[in-house]
Amino acid sequence: MNDETHRFFRFSNEASYEQLTAAGNTARNLPDDNGTDRWLAPWEKLFLDPETGTDKLYCVKRSGILPTDQFDLEGIEEINLETYLKRLQWEPPIEEDLEMLDELEILD
């Protein structure tokens, strides 16, 4: 998996993701008789972006992308592999850091 074989995305809008998926399913005649129900995974099966807690992360094989697939919808951001992996490995700040931030806000 790399930038040459896959495209990486951050989705912040479920409606746009479902629109992208529905249009892709139609273009691919899915569901089909081979047991393939949909082109992209359901929203709830995407990776949760731990940095935002609401956005989803997903990658798509370039070989499976059609020219008609619309990745320019609202809330769909293409990212590179490095960013994708960093976001999957993101760790929240430790409690001491959060307490220090609270103290600084009180001083302001």
Residue found under tokens 């001083």: 107
Q: What is the mean pLDDT of residues 4-17?
A: 96
Phi, psi of 48, deg, nearest 5? -75, 130
Top-confidence residue, 101 or 49: 49
Q: What is the pLDDT at residue 76?
A: 97
pTM of the model: 0.77
pLDDT at 108: 47
- Residues 20-74 pLDDT 10s: 999 999 999 999 888 888 999 999 999 999 889 999 999 999 999 999 999 999 9
pLDDT at residue 88, as a whole number? 87
CA 102, chain centre distance (Å): 31
